[in-house]
Amino acid sequence: MKTKLLLLITTFFLQFANAQMDDKFYYPNKVINPITLPHEEFSLKVEQDSITGIFFKKENPKATLVFFHGAGGNVTYFQKMAIPFLNANYQVIMIDFRGYGKSSGTPTHLNVAKDGQQFFDYLKNRKEIKNTKIILYGQSLGTQIATHLAKENSKDISMLILDGAFTSFTDLACSYKPEAKDVIKKYLVSPYSAKEDIKLVSVPKILIHSKEDKDIPFALGKELFETASEPKNFIEYSGDHIKALIINPDVIITKVNENLK
């Protein structure tokens, strides 16, 4: 991801045609890996396109975890992230926005936000979900849409979890080219940002970040945590970007159980 972000900065100085630079943040992958866990696939129409995903169901779950992955891959690359929650009796639903996996179209900051809301409205009314508590879980780039949806739907969720988060698209670009931050802030527009949205999220929040993260600076995750309103918790671990659920699953599950209302 770091290499791709450096490419973003280089391209930024060569052209200013797209002020939001959406295509430099999203790297959809259409290669589908085998899904080894029992699941249901779903598809939802969005304008002329469709967004798809997978649902790992549980009978009488503690809660429903809604998982938003990062800039690359697709849901089939992240299924192992569901295992700790499934083992703890949470059901998990994962979504691919436009362009990812079996979803059609092209992702942009704006259509991801719009489609995210339509998806949330759809899932909270499904019979397997509507009477359960809902947790939003965002990883890396997915933390931006997870936080935005949490702000817009705070009364309908029970928790927000952000793994490898950053404050805004603009701040992330600045972190890789600090000597050009004034220019970047002027031309690279964040249509929404976690650092503003999280101030208005009233449910418990858990932020997870590694000091060894080479993709998303630890400082941006810590700044986002400091910006967040209470109640909130910060989990620091040692390891690569978004590997906490692999390295320290028990720590995360314990903290989620403690915060679940």
What domains does the chain contain, in order, with CATH numbers? 36-167+192-259 (3.40.50.1820)
Q: Does residue 32 carry a pLDDT above 90?
A: yes
Span 124-140, average pLDDT: 96
- The continuous run of DSSP H or E covering 235 comes out as strand 232-237
Write the single-letter amino acid at 145.
I
> In the chain, pLDDT over 90 holds for what percent of residues?
82
4 has pLDDT over 90:
no
Burial zone of 245 (CB within 10 Å; 0-12 exposed, 13-18 middle, 19+ buried): buried
Residue 16 has pLDDT above 50, yes or no: no
CA distance 100 to 95: 9
Sign of torsion over alpha carbons 31, 52, 163, 22:
positive
Q: Are strands 232-237 and 40-46 parallel, antiparallel or unpaired?
A: unpaired
Average pLDDT over residues 52-64: 97
Q: Long-range pairs for 22-27 at CB < 8 Å and ≥24 separation?
A: 22/107, 22/108, 22/109, 22/110, 23/106, 25/71, 25/109, 25/141, 25/169, 26/71, 26/99, 26/107, 26/108, 26/141, 27/71, 27/72
- This prediction has a pTM of 0.91
Looking at the chain, the number of H-run helices and the number of E-run strands are 10, 8
pLDDT digits (tens, 9 = 90+) for 66-92: 999 999 999 999 999 999 999 999 999
Residue 193: the pLDDT is 96
- pLDDT tens digits, one per residue of 136-178: 999 999 999 999 999 999 999 999 999 999 999 999 988 888 8
**Residue 65 structure tokens:** 């975890």
Q: What is the pLDDT of residue 151?
A: 97
Q: What percent of the chain has pLDDT over 70?
A: 92
Give dist(CA 29, CA 75) in Å, integer.
10
The angle, 0 to 180 degrees and rounded to 10, between the axes of the packed helices 142-152 and 109-124 is: 50
- Strand order, beta sheet including 159-163: 40-46, 49-56, 91-96, 64-68, 134-139, 159-163, 205-210, 232-237
Q: Using 50, 70 and 90 to split pLDDT, how confident is the model at 13?
A: very low
Q: Between 5 and 171, where is the model more confident?
A: 171
Nearest to 245 by CA among 127, 45, 88: 88
Q: At what angle do helices 169-176 and 218-227 cross, to 10 degrees?
A: 150
Mean pLDDT throughout 121-143?
Answer: 96
Per-residue pLDDT band for 22 (boundaries 50, 70, 90) equals: confident
Spatial CA neighbour of 174 closest among 21, 15, 18, 72: 21
- Segment 167-216, tens digit of pLDDT: 999 999 888 888 877 777 777 778 899 999 999 999 999 999 999 999 99
Asked if residue 21 has pLDDT above 80, the reply is no
The tens digit of pLDDT for each residue in 229-260 reads 999 999 999 999 999 999 999 999 999 999 99
Q: Say what the pLDDT of residue 11 is.
A: 54
Which of 20 and 31 is assigned the larger pLDDT? 31
Q: What is the pLDDT of residue 7?
A: 54
Per the model's pLDDT, the better-predicted residue between 221 and 179 turns out to be: 221
